[in-house]
Amino acid sequence: MTTRPEPATAIDEGGPVELTTDVLRDLHHRMVRIRVFEEMAGKLAETARLPGFLHLYVGEEAVAAGVCANLSDDDQITSTHRGHGHLVAKGGDFKRMMAELMGKATGYCHGKGGSMHISSIELGMLGANGIVGAGAPIAVGAAFTNRYKDNGRVAVAFFGDGATNIGAFHEAANMACALHLPVVFVCENNEYAEFTPRSMTMAITDVVERATAYGMPGVVVDGMNVIEVFEAAGAAVAAARAGSGPALIEAKTYRFYNHHGVQNLGLKYRSDDEVAEWKQRDPIAMLESVLAESGQLPAGAAAQVWASERAAIDEAVLFAESSPFPEPDQILRDVYTAAEVPA
Protein backbone atom coordinates (compact mmCIF):
# COMPACT_ATOMS: atom_id res chain seq x y z
CA MET A 1 0.00 0.00 0.00
CA THR A 2 1.32 3.41 -0.95
CA THR A 3 1.49 6.54 1.16
CA ARG A 4 0.77 10.07 0.09
CA PRO A 5 3.78 12.12 -1.03
CA GLU A 6 5.29 14.64 1.33
CA PRO A 7 7.17 17.74 0.13
CA ALA A 8 10.51 16.37 -1.02
CA THR A 9 12.39 19.31 0.45
CA ALA A 10 11.51 21.38 3.50
CA ILE A 11 9.54 24.54 2.69
CA ASP A 12 11.28 27.60 4.04
CA GLU A 13 11.09 31.36 3.66
CA GLY A 14 14.47 31.69 2.01
CA GLY A 15 13.43 30.77 -1.52
CA PRO A 16 11.87 28.13 -3.73
CA VAL A 17 12.38 24.39 -3.34
CA GLU A 18 15.52 23.13 -5.07
CA LEU A 19 14.94 20.91 -8.12
CA THR A 20 16.77 17.77 -6.94
CA THR A 21 16.36 14.17 -8.08
CA ASP A 22 14.11 13.55 -5.08
CA VAL A 23 11.90 16.47 -6.10
CA LEU A 24 11.71 15.24 -9.70
CA ARG A 25 10.64 11.81 -8.50
CA ASP A 26 8.13 13.45 -6.18
CA LEU A 27 6.64 15.37 -9.12
CA HIS A 28 6.36 12.13 -11.09
CA HIS A 29 4.72 10.38 -8.14
CA ARG A 30 2.13 13.13 -7.72
CA MET A 31 1.21 13.10 -11.41
CA VAL A 32 0.90 9.31 -11.53
CA ARG A 33 -1.35 9.37 -8.45
CA ILE A 34 -3.62 11.93 -10.12
CA ARG A 35 -3.79 9.97 -13.39
CA VAL A 36 -4.54 6.66 -11.66
CA PHE A 37 -7.26 8.18 -9.50
CA GLU A 38 -8.93 10.01 -12.39
CA GLU A 39 -8.81 7.07 -14.79
CA MET A 40 -10.44 4.84 -12.19
CA ALA A 41 -13.08 7.48 -11.38
CA GLY A 42 -13.89 7.71 -15.09
CA LYS A 43 -14.29 3.94 -15.40
CA LEU A 44 -16.55 3.82 -12.35
CA ALA A 45 -18.72 6.63 -13.71
CA GLU A 46 -19.08 4.88 -17.08
CA THR A 47 -20.35 1.73 -15.37
CA ALA A 48 -22.72 3.64 -13.06
CA ARG A 49 -20.75 2.65 -9.97
CA LEU A 50 -20.07 6.30 -9.19
CA PRO A 51 -23.00 8.77 -9.09
CA GLY A 52 -23.28 12.43 -10.05
CA PHE A 53 -21.25 14.74 -12.23
CA LEU A 54 -17.58 14.00 -12.82
CA HIS A 55 -15.05 16.42 -14.33
CA LEU A 56 -11.74 14.67 -14.94
CA TYR A 57 -8.29 16.26 -14.60
CA VAL A 58 -6.47 13.87 -16.96
CA GLY A 59 -3.91 15.77 -19.03
CA GLU A 60 -3.54 18.67 -16.60
CA GLU A 61 -1.58 16.79 -13.91
CA ALA A 62 1.58 18.87 -14.30
CA VAL A 63 -0.15 22.01 -13.03
CA ALA A 64 -1.44 20.62 -9.74
CA ALA A 65 1.74 18.62 -9.10
CA GLY A 66 4.12 21.43 -9.99
CA VAL A 67 2.35 23.94 -7.78
CA CYS A 68 1.53 21.76 -4.78
CA ALA A 69 5.08 20.37 -4.54
CA ASN A 70 6.02 23.88 -3.40
CA LEU A 71 3.41 23.94 -0.63
CA SER A 72 3.17 22.54 2.89
CA ASP A 73 0.03 21.11 4.49
CA ASP A 74 -0.43 24.45 6.24
CA ASP A 75 -0.60 26.38 2.96
CA GLN A 76 -4.11 26.61 1.51
CA ILE A 77 -5.51 25.97 -1.95
CA THR A 78 -8.93 26.51 -3.49
CA SER A 79 -10.11 24.45 -6.40
CA THR A 80 -12.70 24.13 -9.16
CA HIS A 81 -15.37 21.69 -10.33
CA ARG A 82 -12.38 19.77 -11.81
CA GLY A 83 -10.73 19.45 -8.42
CA HIS A 84 -9.73 15.85 -7.67
CA GLY A 85 -6.25 16.42 -9.05
CA HIS A 86 -5.61 19.34 -6.73
CA LEU A 87 -6.49 17.35 -3.63
CA VAL A 88 -4.44 14.35 -4.76
CA ALA A 89 -1.46 16.65 -5.43
CA LYS A 90 -1.90 18.19 -1.97
CA GLY A 91 -1.65 14.72 -0.42
CA GLY A 92 -5.23 13.48 -0.45
CA ASP A 93 -5.90 9.89 0.64
CA PHE A 94 -7.30 7.67 -2.12
CA LYS A 95 -9.72 5.85 0.18
CA ARG A 96 -11.31 8.95 1.67
CA MET A 97 -11.47 10.62 -1.74
CA MET A 98 -13.12 7.68 -3.47
CA ALA A 99 -15.56 7.28 -0.59
CA GLU A 100 -16.51 10.94 -0.93
CA LEU A 101 -17.13 10.60 -4.65
CA MET A 102 -19.46 7.69 -3.87
CA GLY A 103 -21.30 9.68 -1.20
CA LYS A 104 -20.13 7.48 1.66
CA ALA A 105 -19.81 8.43 5.34
CA THR A 106 -16.09 7.58 5.34
CA GLY A 107 -15.33 10.28 2.77
CA TYR A 108 -13.54 13.56 3.42
CA CYS A 109 -16.87 15.39 3.73
CA HIS A 110 -18.76 12.37 5.12
CA GLY A 111 -20.39 11.88 1.74
CA LYS A 112 -22.00 15.33 1.64
CA GLY A 113 -19.58 17.12 -0.67
CA GLY A 114 -19.13 14.69 -3.49
CA SER A 115 -16.92 15.31 -6.49
CA MET A 116 -17.47 19.03 -6.97
CA HIS A 117 -17.21 20.08 -3.31
CA ILE A 118 -14.58 17.75 -1.90
CA SER A 119 -12.29 19.34 0.68
CA SER A 120 -9.77 18.60 3.42
CA ILE A 121 -9.11 21.34 5.93
CA GLU A 122 -6.27 19.38 7.52
CA LEU A 123 -4.45 19.39 4.18
CA GLY A 124 -5.23 23.04 3.50
CA MET A 125 -7.61 22.11 0.66
CA LEU A 126 -10.41 24.61 1.23
CA GLY A 127 -12.69 22.95 -1.27
CA ALA A 128 -13.51 22.23 -4.86
CA ASN A 129 -16.29 24.49 -6.09
CA GLY A 130 -19.12 23.95 -8.53
CA ILE A 131 -19.43 27.71 -9.08
CA VAL A 132 -17.04 28.99 -11.74
CA GLY A 133 -14.51 31.44 -10.31
CA ALA A 134 -15.78 31.11 -6.74
CA GLY A 135 -12.51 29.74 -5.38
CA ALA A 136 -10.53 32.93 -6.05
CA PRO A 137 -12.17 35.11 -3.36
CA ILE A 138 -11.97 32.21 -0.88
CA ALA A 139 -8.22 31.99 -1.45
CA VAL A 140 -7.93 35.74 -1.00
CA GLY A 141 -9.82 35.45 2.28
CA ALA A 142 -7.37 32.79 3.44
CA ALA A 143 -4.46 34.97 2.36
CA PHE A 144 -5.93 37.90 4.30
CA THR A 145 -6.03 35.71 7.40
CA ASN A 146 -2.44 34.63 6.82
CA ARG A 147 -1.34 38.24 6.49
CA TYR A 148 -3.31 39.28 9.61
CA LYS A 149 -1.88 36.42 11.69
CA ASP A 150 1.58 36.77 10.14
CA ASN A 151 1.82 32.97 10.02
CA GLY A 152 3.97 32.66 6.89
CA ARG A 153 1.36 30.66 4.98
CA VAL A 154 0.51 31.13 1.31
CA ALA A 155 -2.85 30.59 -0.41
CA VAL A 156 -3.18 29.38 -3.99
CA ALA A 157 -6.27 29.75 -6.16
CA PHE A 158 -6.67 27.31 -9.04
CA PHE A 159 -9.16 28.27 -11.78
CA GLY A 160 -9.73 27.90 -15.51
CA ASP A 161 -9.49 30.43 -18.32
CA GLY A 162 -13.27 30.84 -18.32
CA ALA A 163 -13.21 31.93 -14.67
CA THR A 164 -11.15 34.99 -15.57
CA ASN A 165 -14.27 36.39 -17.24
CA ILE A 166 -16.19 36.17 -13.96
CA GLY A 167 -16.55 39.17 -11.65
CA ALA A 168 -15.47 37.19 -8.60
CA PHE A 169 -12.02 36.66 -10.10
CA HIS A 170 -11.53 40.36 -10.86
CA GLU A 171 -12.67 41.44 -7.41
CA ALA A 172 -10.37 38.87 -5.81
CA ALA A 173 -7.38 39.91 -7.90
CA ASN A 174 -7.98 43.59 -7.17
CA MET A 175 -8.29 43.05 -3.41
CA ALA A 176 -5.24 40.79 -3.29
CA CYS A 177 -3.07 43.36 -4.99
CA ALA A 178 -4.51 46.36 -3.14
CA LEU A 179 -3.81 44.69 0.21
CA HIS A 180 -0.55 43.03 -0.91
CA LEU A 181 -1.68 39.57 0.18
CA PRO A 182 0.28 36.28 0.07
CA VAL A 183 -1.73 34.57 -2.66
CA VAL A 184 -0.81 33.00 -6.00
CA PHE A 185 -3.41 32.86 -8.77
CA VAL A 186 -2.98 29.81 -11.03
CA CYS A 187 -4.96 29.85 -14.27
CA GLU A 188 -5.25 26.40 -15.84
CA ASN A 189 -5.87 27.56 -19.39
CA ASN A 190 -7.10 24.51 -21.29
CA GLU A 191 -8.56 26.76 -24.01
CA TYR A 192 -12.17 25.77 -23.35
CA ALA A 193 -14.75 27.15 -20.95
CA GLU A 194 -16.96 24.06 -20.84
CA PHE A 195 -17.62 23.65 -24.61
CA THR A 196 -16.68 27.16 -25.76
CA PRO A 197 -13.17 27.96 -27.08
CA ARG A 198 -11.28 30.78 -25.41
CA SER A 199 -11.12 32.73 -28.69
CA MET A 200 -14.91 33.22 -28.52
CA THR A 201 -14.99 34.53 -24.94
CA MET A 202 -12.06 36.96 -24.72
CA ALA A 203 -10.20 39.27 -27.10
CA ILE A 204 -6.76 38.50 -25.67
CA THR A 205 -4.71 35.38 -26.29
CA ASP A 206 -2.92 35.25 -22.95
CA VAL A 207 -4.88 35.54 -19.70
CA VAL A 208 -1.69 36.74 -18.00
CA GLU A 209 -2.11 40.13 -19.71
CA ARG A 210 -4.73 40.88 -17.06
CA ALA A 211 -2.16 40.74 -14.26
CA THR A 212 -0.70 44.13 -15.13
CA ALA A 213 -4.06 45.84 -14.67
CA TYR A 214 -4.07 44.86 -11.00
CA GLY A 215 -0.40 45.52 -10.34
CA MET A 216 0.97 42.01 -9.94
CA PRO A 217 3.60 40.07 -11.89
CA GLY A 218 2.44 37.38 -14.27
CA VAL A 219 4.06 34.58 -16.23
CA VAL A 220 2.98 32.09 -18.91
CA VAL A 221 4.27 28.52 -18.54
CA ASP A 222 3.92 25.30 -20.48
CA GLY A 223 1.30 23.54 -18.42
CA MET A 224 2.32 20.16 -19.85
CA ASN A 225 5.88 20.58 -18.54
CA VAL A 226 5.85 19.90 -14.80
CA ILE A 227 9.40 21.22 -14.32
CA GLU A 228 8.47 24.56 -15.85
CA VAL A 229 5.34 24.78 -13.69
CA PHE A 230 7.28 23.77 -10.57
CA GLU A 231 9.93 26.44 -11.07
CA ALA A 232 7.47 29.24 -11.81
CA ALA A 233 5.28 28.26 -8.86
CA GLY A 234 8.31 27.97 -6.61
CA ALA A 235 9.35 31.53 -7.38
CA ALA A 236 5.82 32.90 -6.92
CA VAL A 237 5.18 31.01 -3.68
CA ALA A 238 8.54 32.00 -2.20
CA ALA A 239 7.93 35.66 -3.11
CA ALA A 240 4.45 35.63 -1.59
CA ARG A 241 5.75 33.94 1.56
CA ALA A 242 8.47 36.59 1.86
CA GLY A 243 5.93 39.42 1.67
CA SER A 244 6.17 40.43 -1.98
CA GLY A 245 2.44 40.03 -2.61
CA PRO A 246 0.41 38.15 -5.22
CA ALA A 247 1.30 36.81 -8.66
CA LEU A 248 -0.53 35.21 -11.59
CA ILE A 249 0.67 32.04 -13.33
CA GLU A 250 -1.03 31.06 -16.58
CA ALA A 251 -0.39 27.40 -17.38
CA LYS A 252 -1.22 26.45 -20.96
CA THR A 253 -2.64 22.96 -20.58
CA TYR A 254 -5.28 20.62 -21.99
CA ARG A 255 -7.83 18.14 -20.70
CA PHE A 256 -7.71 14.83 -22.54
CA TYR A 257 -11.33 13.97 -21.78
CA ASN A 258 -14.40 16.08 -22.27
CA HIS A 259 -15.88 18.70 -19.99
CA HIS A 260 -17.93 16.11 -18.13
CA GLY A 261 -17.04 12.45 -17.84
CA VAL A 262 -15.33 10.50 -20.59
CA GLN A 263 -17.85 10.49 -23.45
CA ASN A 264 -18.78 13.38 -25.75
CA LEU A 265 -22.48 13.18 -24.80
CA GLY A 266 -23.24 13.92 -28.46
CA LEU A 267 -21.32 17.21 -28.41
CA LYS A 268 -18.47 17.51 -30.93
CA TYR A 269 -16.61 20.72 -30.09
CA ARG A 270 -12.98 19.60 -30.48
CA SER A 271 -11.43 17.87 -33.48
CA ASP A 272 -9.89 14.42 -33.12
CA ASP A 273 -6.64 15.79 -34.52
CA GLU A 274 -6.50 18.52 -31.88
CA VAL A 275 -6.97 16.06 -29.03
CA ALA A 276 -4.45 13.63 -30.51
CA GLU A 277 -1.86 16.40 -30.91
CA TRP A 278 -2.15 17.41 -27.26
CA LYS A 279 -1.98 13.79 -26.11
CA GLN A 280 1.42 13.57 -27.76
CA ARG A 281 2.54 15.97 -25.04
CA ASP A 282 1.34 13.85 -22.12
CA PRO A 283 2.97 15.50 -19.08
CA ILE A 284 3.76 12.20 -17.35
CA ALA A 285 5.33 10.61 -20.42
CA MET A 286 7.36 13.76 -21.05
CA LEU A 287 8.81 13.75 -17.53
CA GLU A 288 9.49 10.01 -17.63
CA SER A 289 11.42 10.49 -20.85
CA VAL A 290 13.55 13.27 -19.35
CA LEU A 291 14.25 11.30 -16.17
CA ALA A 292 15.03 8.08 -18.05
CA GLU A 293 17.55 9.85 -20.26
CA SER A 294 19.26 11.39 -17.23
CA GLY A 295 19.18 8.13 -15.26
CA GLN A 296 17.16 9.75 -12.45
CA LEU A 297 14.19 7.42 -12.88
CA PRO A 298 14.94 4.08 -14.59
CA ALA A 299 12.09 2.40 -16.46
CA GLY A 300 11.76 -0.21 -13.75
CA ALA A 301 11.35 2.44 -11.06
CA ALA A 302 8.66 4.23 -13.07
CA ALA A 303 6.78 0.98 -13.60
CA GLN A 304 6.94 0.28 -9.88
CA VAL A 305 5.32 3.64 -9.11
CA TRP A 306 2.47 2.90 -11.52
CA ALA A 307 1.94 -0.60 -10.12
CA SER A 308 1.93 0.63 -6.53
CA GLU A 309 -0.59 3.36 -7.19
CA ARG A 310 -2.86 1.08 -9.22
CA ALA A 311 -2.90 -1.35 -6.32
CA ALA A 312 -3.70 1.52 -3.98
CA ILE A 313 -6.63 2.72 -6.08
CA ASP A 314 -8.03 -0.82 -6.26
CA GLU A 315 -7.95 -0.91 -2.45
CA ALA A 316 -9.63 2.49 -2.34
CA VAL A 317 -12.51 1.32 -4.54
CA LEU A 318 -13.11 -1.72 -2.32
CA PHE A 319 -12.99 0.51 0.76
CA ALA A 320 -15.43 3.01 -0.69
CA GLU A 321 -17.91 0.46 -2.00
CA SER A 322 -17.98 -1.35 1.35
CA SER A 323 -18.39 1.87 3.35
CA PRO A 324 -21.82 2.92 4.65
CA PHE A 325 -23.87 5.85 3.46
CA PRO A 326 -24.48 8.66 6.00
CA GLU A 327 -27.37 8.02 8.36
CA PRO A 328 -30.49 10.18 7.82
CA ASP A 329 -30.12 11.81 11.25
CA GLN A 330 -26.72 13.19 10.13
CA ILE A 331 -28.20 15.30 7.33
CA LEU A 332 -27.41 18.64 8.99
CA ARG A 333 -24.15 17.67 10.68
CA ASP A 334 -21.07 19.38 9.19
CA VAL A 335 -23.33 21.48 6.92
CA TYR A 336 -22.95 25.22 7.39
CA THR A 337 -26.48 26.34 6.47
CA ALA A 338 -29.79 26.26 8.31
CA ALA A 339 -29.63 25.41 12.00
CA GLU A 340 -32.74 23.23 12.07
CA VAL A 341 -35.27 21.61 9.78
CA PRO A 342 -38.83 22.84 10.48
CA ALA A 343 -41.01 20.23 12.19
- DSSP symbols for 47-93: TTSS-S-----TT-HHHHHHHHTT--TTSEEE--SS-HHHHHHTT--
- pLDDT computed for residue 262 by the predictor: 66
- pLDDT computed for residue 9 by the predictor: 37
Encode pLDDT of 55-97 as tens digits. 899 889 999 999 999 999 999 999 998 889 999 999 999 999 9
d(CA 60, CA 84): 11
Average pLDDT along the chain: 88
If one counts every other C-beta atom within 10 angstroms of the C-beta of residue 4, the result is: 16
Check whether 337 has a pLDDT greater than 70: no
Encode pLDDT of 290-307 as tens digits. 999 999 988 899 999 999
Q: What are phi and psi of 144, to 5 degrees?
A: -60, -45
Encode pLDDT of 146-196 as tens digits. 999 999 999 999 999 888 889 999 999 999 999 999 999 999 998 766 667
Check whether 282 has a pLDDT greater than 90: yes
- pLDDT computed for residue 304 by the predictor: 95
Average pLDDT over residues 218-225: 96
Confidence of residue 264 (pLDDT cuts 50, 70, 90): low
Check whether 283 has a pLDDT greater than 90: yes
Question: What is the chain's percent helix, strand, coil content, to nearest 5?
Answer: 45, 10, 45
- pLDDT computed for residue 266 by the predictor: 54
Check whether 14 has a pLDDT greater than 70: no
